């Protein structure tokens, strides 16, 4: 059995750490109209480099803070200048509603770019509102499930 496990593990390890993009640890905060994005439901941020997979992060529903992941949890973001998208959606009844302007959910319309050249814990993403004002009682609990979108 251990030989079979070794045969499966060795190919999985080949190429690890070789030839991939240089990653640096990145965390920060999303602001809307100069204040922390406190939407009451988790949001999602994607930093989209060309030629490799996006770095993603979950935006804290109270503080707007996030940490980026590319391949492994919180491993960071590729170095370079990249487009950014931010999505914050909630279920209101049976409808998925954006809590921030829709333009931020598309890399072609977001107008957001970042330059990542070194590790940082203070990357700030600035959005212009409005932030939708939906009473918490109208947001269905499934809004905390990232798989609904």
Q: Where are the domains of the chain?
A: 20-130
Q: Judge whether residue 51 has pLDDT over 80.
A: yes
**In CATH terms, is domain 20-130 a member of 3.40.30.10?**
no
Q: Judge whether residue 136 has pLDDT over 50.
A: yes
Going by pLDDT thresholds of 50, 70 and 90, the confidence category of residue 133 is confident
- CA 21 to CA 8: how far, in whole Å? 25
Q: Judge whether residue 78 has pLDDT over 90.
A: yes
Regarding predicted confidence, which is higher, 28 or 40?
Answer: 28
Regarding predicted confidence, which is higher, 59 or 133?
Answer: 59
Q: Which pLDDT does position 140 carry in this prediction?
A: 76
- CA 41 to CA 60: how far, in whole Å? 8
Task: Work out the angle at residue 134's Cα, subtended by the Cα atoms of residues 103 and 42, and round it to the nearest 5 degrees.
Answer: 65
């Amino acid at each position: 059995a251990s030989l079979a496990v070794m045969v499966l593990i060795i190919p999985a390890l080949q190429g690890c750490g070789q030839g991939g993009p240089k990653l640096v640890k990145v965390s920060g905060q999303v602001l809307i109209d100069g204040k922390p994005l406190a939407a009451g439901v988790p949001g999602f941020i994607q930093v989209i480099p060309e030629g490799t997979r996006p770095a993603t992060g979950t935006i804290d529903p109270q503080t707007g803070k996030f940490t980026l992941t590319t391949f492994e949890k919180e491993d960071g973001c590729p170095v370079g200048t990249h487009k950014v998208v931010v999505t914050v959606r909630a279920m209101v009844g049976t409808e998925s509603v954006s809590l921030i302007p829709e333009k931020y959910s598309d890399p072609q319309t977001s107008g957001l770019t970042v330059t990542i050249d070194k590790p940082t814990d203070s990357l700030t993403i600035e959005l212009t509102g409005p932030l939708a004002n939906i009473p918490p009682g109208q947001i269905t609990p499934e809004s905390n499930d990232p798989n609904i979108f």
